[in-house]
Chain A
């Protein structure tokens, strides 16, 4: 006979003791319900089975189950499958017939599931790589047994005065068989019948899929403690499923795969029981799930988001079909079969992130467990601090106590069902306890106000004012049938009310995370649960409380008896020594903490969980549901202080000054919209007129000069000819006839008028001397400009009739100064050809006997640069002067007026780098006068000199006007500033 573990001090106490020998915590509720043997239960079940309110499909369930066994057995074969079979054998071994009767149904029901779930071959491997399935099963039970052991002892000692609980209990007990579940429905889920009594019945299948996963994964988490908590998620599964179906929090699934197992496990048999009749009822339970997903009982919301549920379910269905689902298990089994695949792979990766493909809707039903798992099993197993830190904060107590989860403490009170909960929880193999959980969870969708909190929790909110009366809905129903009416307002209550209820509840019994779920629950809508989940991920330590609240009624009354004892009797005895494991440090502080899990750990005091904790109060609740639970605060305080968001007055008090500023701002904004006055046009007009005037004056001057005719201005006398022009002329005079001359036409077409006027006299002289001309240019247009100027020069008198001269246009010297230097080194190599060539005879520009390509620039007797650019002139000087001077070759320049000051220094140097130069139009006039031949320069000179005078007058007048007006404006400005 196993001892009872004191939930408060965690020590063993003989089962017959009512108080803990060490801490005197009440272990048994006085007048506990004798849930002694399975006979009683079976009797109850039997009596219930005759209930008239059993749905027809439930009546037909049993034979179907029997039939299902066949195919299920055939389907067995995979590891997980055989593991389950082994488990069944062990479970059923030595069961009394009556018990075997319904238990066999459970097992039988499980088979089809596994026949489906075997589809993923890796599920077994994932469970525990390299371990035979039988061992796996053995391991499962070994892990659970220690806590299962006390089960039988506890069950007789159920809460006092629970005659009414009988039918509730019976409903729980009946639940294993679907028809009994049906019988139970009117009992404490009466309120939900408004939405169809069968809806919740159809929920167990919802949990079914997870059952597939459970077995394999449960083997991984060989910690009963985990199994206990996993019960709680199962409770809320139905509504979380829906929410997480929308919000695929894939990141957690990998991490929590291992811990889902118990959850999933529990549902397996149940599903198969209801499957046949369930298949048509899919939509119903989905819609009921939806109501949970809609975070409120409001029917519109339920309808609103029901579509989504149907979607992911249909997808699941389709996938399920792919995975060899047996015929009888039509829609849902496939969904199940899809899940083990995911979980198996996840668990095999020890929580590695599953591939994206697994995070889709097909995993939606799993997602909630993902959440639960993170919160519970896994958190407990690998990161004890995670969920133990919370109780520790709530009640600074001895280490052993700290490590004790809340539910253990509360169970330790032995109050009503809770006294037995620890044993109960643990004794119940996850898949069974979860299976039974389906019942309260089935009520959730209708009763849960905020889509997170089960209705019975929501209703706890009201009585919560008095901790002693804090009783979950189902307890209230047990207590007095009148309370059964309570859910109704809860159903109709707005989410706010629901939250409030949850808040109250949270004070005493409801775990913080639950309250947070409520608080964070968005307004009714499909995703309302999302923030809540996010929140809870942060505060995983609280989830054990959740498991406590929800799993308690379920696991305890549902599963404790009979067949569990068989298990404990058969196999679980040896591991009894491991009993401390769930509560002891040994089991709670595993050193090997995966990195990904470490990352999940909420930092101390982090997350909103801290908000809902009050560490200031360390008193322990003396009575009631939470008896023995430390840190319980009066509801009102918490509600006002911690939960309810502060209410601000929406009435805005505006001071007169503020009002004035607002008015000013309004005026400014209004001004912004008014079109601004544009002063620009006036200015533009002035500019336009001024430009027009200037242009008109110049045009008139030029026209007048042209009209008056040339020679109006006397040609400058010889005495006024500048020295540089005289030097230039002297160099030309010294040039021998027919001498090779290099001419650079380095000006832009824009300067052609000036440069042609300036250089025509020089070119004329060169042509008259019959020079051998080679024309180059450092500008693209140079060749054309050379052609143009030489053509005009050749059209002058005395040249047009002369024999064709030796003129070659070599073209363009690219590369600026570098090109000039290269040309200076090897002109024949850089520009070897004549652009003017008509045939091969004159293609080579250096074929003349006067040229020796090797000599480079020394081939020429004169270099003339015609340029409008000071830099180009400088480049020519810099790049060629050394060669030219060393060969006594004169460099002449014809430059524009703008570049004269820049070229003059080269003329002024000693020795002169530039032998002579002519500048601009007047330079051309001087040359023409020296040549005695009028040309373009002389033609332009009159207009040029007249427009120059016009320009000077405009410059003087305009400058004076602007100077005076500028000064006046400046004075005005200064005066204005002085006044200011």
Chain B
């Protein structure tokens, strides 16, 4: 292993360890952290309202989890989508139409079923798991999006939460949501898909905001803590970038 590799490895390890320690510390301080306010993200405000409205109106929430591969780097955004699904299910479990989750990847569909079942069981233990509540609608990006379209049209969906790993095919889903007049809140990790979402979704989530869903929906102190740690590291990185750029410039001047 070259010295550069070792250096990069150690740097990465130190970065991860420091991030993890701060995350644990801020999680332990959970209660106090909850009190501190966050930047307003309209999408989450509308989402909270939409969940309540869906329960009252007897309509469904639809959470589209995308096609993130759980064993890949895009699994993070898939996990963020699962967190939103869990929060939405917990809030809407009392509804006679519990939320429905669609995904385009096998492992994610499996996790969404587990999440839905456990949430619904926690509310009503005698409830039978419904395989169609967490369904796989297609295995290729466009077959997945095409499979979601009938769900949006047929399942009395009032709110579409599109949060996961998507490509440009997400435009088909947001378009379907707009056609049925439902609220579409969308976010993804793919920047090109974010561009499509920005143009087509009613409430887009850009960039890092996608990963803040758990904290904004009150998932757990760990989510709030992670935002704090992200902020800390954000400024650390900014300072590092500025100093590094200056050093390179000065070094040459």
Interface residue B140 (Cβ < 8 Å from any Cβ of A): yes
How many angstroms between the C-alpha atoms of A879 and B26 in the bound complex?
Answer: 32
How many angstroms between the C-alpha atoms of A902 and B194 in the bound complex?
Answer: 12
Given contacts A748-B167, A816-B71, A818-B71, 20 further A-B contacts (CB under 8 A): A748-B140, A748-B141, A750-B141, A750-B169, A781-B140, A816-B73, A816-B75, A818-B72, A819-B72, A869-B167, A871-B74, A871-B189, A875-B72, A878-B73, A882-B5, A898-B168, A899-B192, A901-B191, A902-B191, A902-B192
How many angstroms between the C-alpha atoms of A958 and B217 in the bound complex?
Answer: 37
- Produce 1/0 per residue, A761-794, CB < 8 A to B: 0000000000000000001110000000000000
**22 cross-chain CB contacts under 8 A:** A680-B181, A748-B140, A780-B140, A815-B69, A816-B69, A816-B71, A816-B73, A816-B75, A817-B73, A817-B74, A818-B71, A818-B72, A819-B71, A819-B72, A868-B167, A871-B74, A871-B165, A871-B189, A882-B5, A886-B2, A898-B192, A901-B191
How many angstroms between the C-alpha atoms of A818 and B70 in the bound complex?
Answer: 10
Q: How far is the CB of A748 from chain B (nearest CB, A)?
A: 5
How many angstroms between the C-alpha atoms of A779 and B75 in the bound complex?
Answer: 16
Residues of B within 8 A of A898 (CB): 168, 192, 195
How many angstroms between the C-alpha atoms of A767 and B220 in the bound complex?
Answer: 56
Interface pairs A-B: 6 shortest CB-CB = A816-B72, A816-B69, A817-B72, A817-B73, A898-B192, A818-B71
Interface residue A870 (Cβ < 8 Å from any Cβ of B): yes
Interface residue B230 (Cβ < 8 Å from any Cβ of A): no
Interface residue B20 (Cβ < 8 Å from any Cβ of A): no
How many angstroms between the C-alpha atoms of A680 and B181 in the bound complex?
Answer: 10
- Produce 1/0 per residue, B158-179, CB < 8 A to A: 0000000101110000000000
Residues of A within 8 A of B5 (CB): 882
Which of these, A680, A749, A869, contacts B190 with CB under 8 Å? A869
How many angstroms between the C-alpha atoms of A513 and B189 in the bound complex?
Answer: 75
- Produce 1/0 per residue, A725-751, CB < 8 A to B: 000000000000000000000001110
Interface residue B198 (Cβ < 8 Å from any Cβ of A): no
Q: How far is the CB of B198 from chain A (nearest CB, A)?
A: 13
Binding site for A on B (CB under 8 A): 2, 5, 69, 71-75, 139-142, 165, 167-169, 181, 189-192, 195
Q: Does A780 contact B139, Cβ atoms closer than 8 Å?
A: yes
How many angstroms between the C-alpha atoms of A870 and B191 in the bound complex?
Answer: 8
Residues of A within 8 A of B190 (CB): 869-871
Residues of B within 8 A of A748 (CB): 140-142, 167
How many angstroms between the C-alpha atoms of A878 and B73 in the bound complex?
Answer: 10
Residues of B within 8 A of A819 (CB): 71-72
Residues of A within 8 A of B195 (CB): 898
Q: How far is the CB of B77 from chain A (nearest CB, A)?
A: 10
Q: Does B73 contact A815, Cβ atoms closer than 8 Å?
A: no
- Nearest residue in B to A870 (C-beta to C-beta)? B192
Q: Does B142 contact A750, Cβ atoms closer than 8 Å?
A: yes
Q: How far is the CB of A860 from chain B (nearest CB, A)?
A: 21
Q: How far is the CB of A537 from chain B (nearest CB, A)?
A: 33
Q: DSSP class of A's interface residues: helix, strand, loop or mixed?
A: helix
Residues facing B in A855-900 (CB within 8 A) are: 868-871, 875, 878, 882, 886, 898-899
- Nearest residue in A to B192 (C-beta to C-beta)? A898
Q: Does B72 contact A815, Cβ atoms closer than 8 Å?
A: yes
Chain A contact residue count (CB 8 A cutoff): 24
Residues of B within 8 A of A899 (CB): 192
Binding site for B on A (CB under 8 A): 680, 748-750, 779-781, 815-819, 868-871, 875, 878, 882, 886, 898-899, 901-902
How many angstroms between the C-alpha atoms of A899 and B74 in the bound complex?
Answer: 16
How many angstroms between the C-alpha atoms of A817 and B74 in the bound complex?
Answer: 8
Residues of A within 8 A of B169 (CB): 750
Q: Does B73 contact A875, Cβ atoms closer than 8 Å?
A: yes
Residues of A within 8 A of B189 (CB): 871
Residues of A within 8 A of B191 (CB): 870, 901-902
How many angstroms between the C-alpha atoms of A875 and B142 in the bound complex?
Answer: 21
- Nearest residue in B to A816 (C-beta to C-beta)? B72
User: Which of A781, A816, A868, A870 has the most CB atoms of chain B within a 10 A radius of its CB?
Assistant: A816
- Nearest residue in B to A898 (C-beta to C-beta)? B192
User: Which of A749, A816, A817, A871 has the most CB atoms of chain B within a 10 A radius of its CB?
Assistant: A871
How many angstroms between the C-alpha atoms of A507 and B72 in the bound complex?
Answer: 86
Which of these, B74, B140, B141, contacts A816 with CB under 8 Å? B74
How many angstroms between the C-alpha atoms of A750 and B140 in the bound complex?
Answer: 10
Which of these, A779, A871, A878, contacts B140 with CB under 8 Å? A779
Residues of A within 8 A of B168 (CB): 898
How many angstroms between the C-alpha atoms of A258 and B181 in the bound complex?
Answer: 72
Residues of A within 8 A of B71 (CB): 815-816, 818-819
Q: How far is the CB of B104 from chain A (nearest CB, A)?
A: 11
How many angstroms between the C-alpha atoms of A749 and B138 in the bound complex?
Answer: 14
Q: How far is the CB of B10 from chain A (nearest CB, A)?
A: 15
How many angstroms between the C-alpha atoms of A899 and B195 in the bound complex?
Answer: 11
How many angstroms between the C-alpha atoms of A749 and B144 in the bound complex?
Answer: 13
How many angstroms between the C-alpha atoms of A815 and B107 in the bound complex?
Answer: 10
Residues of B within 8 A of A815 (CB): 69, 71-72
Q: How far is the CB of A500 from chain B (nearest CB, A)?
A: 49
Residues of A within 8 A of B165 (CB): 871
How many angstroms between the C-alpha atoms of A780 and B67 in the bound complex?
Answer: 13
Residues of B within 8 A of A780 (CB): 139-140
Residues of A within 8 A of B74 (CB): 816-817, 871
Q: How far is the CB of A920 from chain B (nearest CB, A)?
A: 12
Q: How far is the CB of A435 from chain B (nearest CB, A)?
A: 54
Q: How far is the CB of B57 from chain A (nearest CB, A)?
A: 16
- Nearest residue in A to B105 (C-beta to C-beta)? A816
Residues of A within 8 A of B139 (CB): 780
Q: How far is the CB of A95 from chain B (nearest CB, A)?
A: 68
How many angstroms between the C-alpha atoms of A327 and B197 in the bound complex?
Answer: 92
Residues of A within 8 A of B142 (CB): 748-750
How many angstroms between the C-alpha atoms of A301 and B169 in the bound complex?
Answer: 75
How many angstroms between the C-alpha atoms of A780 and B191 in the bound complex?
Answer: 23
Q: How far is the CB of A755 from chain B (nearest CB, A)?
A: 13
Residues of B within 8 A of A870 (CB): 190-192
- Nearest residue in A to B68 (C-beta to C-beta)? A816
- Nearest residue in B to A900 (C-beta to C-beta)? B192
Residues of B within 8 A of A818 (CB): 71-72
How many angstroms between the C-alpha atoms of A465 and B192 in the bound complex?
Answer: 95
How many angstroms between the C-alpha atoms of A899 and B139 in the bound complex?
Answer: 22
Q: How far is the CB of B109 from chain A (nearest CB, A)?
A: 15
How many angstroms between the C-alpha atoms of A288 and B225 in the bound complex?
Answer: 78
Q: How far is the CB of B180 from chain A (nearest CB, A)?
A: 11
Q: How far is the CB of B218 from chain A (nearest CB, A)?
A: 29
Residues of A within 8 A of B2 (CB): 886
How many angstroms between the C-alpha atoms of A971 and B139 in the bound complex?
Answer: 48
- Nearest residue in A to B190 (C-beta to C-beta)? A871
- Nearest residue in B to A680 (C-beta to C-beta)? B181
- Nearest residue in A to B72 (C-beta to C-beta)? A816
How many angstroms between the C-alpha atoms of A869 and B74 in the bound complex?
Answer: 12
User: Which of A780, A870, A886, A898 has the most CB atoms of chain B within a 10 A radius of its CB?
Assistant: A898
Residues of B within 8 A of A902 (CB): 191-192
- Nearest residue in A to B181 (C-beta to C-beta)? A680
Residues of B within 8 A of A901 (CB): 191
How many angstroms between the C-alpha atoms of A741 and B142 in the bound complex?
Answer: 30
Residues of A within 8 A of B141 (CB): 748, 750
Residues of B within 8 A of A886 (CB): 2
How many angstroms between the C-alpha atoms of A902 and B74 in the bound complex?
Answer: 15
- Nearest residue in B to A687 (C-beta to C-beta)? B179
How many angstroms between the C-alpha atoms of A870 and B165 in the bound complex?
Answer: 12
User: Which of B73, B139, B165 has the most CB atoms of chain A within a 10 A radius of its CB?
Assistant: B73
Q: How far is the CB of A752 from chain B (nearest CB, A)?
A: 11
Residues of B within 8 A of A868 (CB): 167
User: Which of B2, B189, B192 has the most CB atoms of chain A within a 10 A radius of its CB?
Assistant: B192
Q: How far is the CB of B75 from chain A (nearest CB, A)?
A: 8
Q: How far is the CB of A777 from chain B (nearest CB, A)?
A: 12
How many angstroms between the C-alpha atoms of A818 and B72 in the bound complex?
Answer: 5
Q: How far is the CB of B2 from chain A (nearest CB, A)?
A: 8
Residues of A within 8 A of B75 (CB): 816
User: Which of B5, B75, B189, B191 has the most CB atoms of chain A within a 10 A radius of its CB?
Assistant: B191
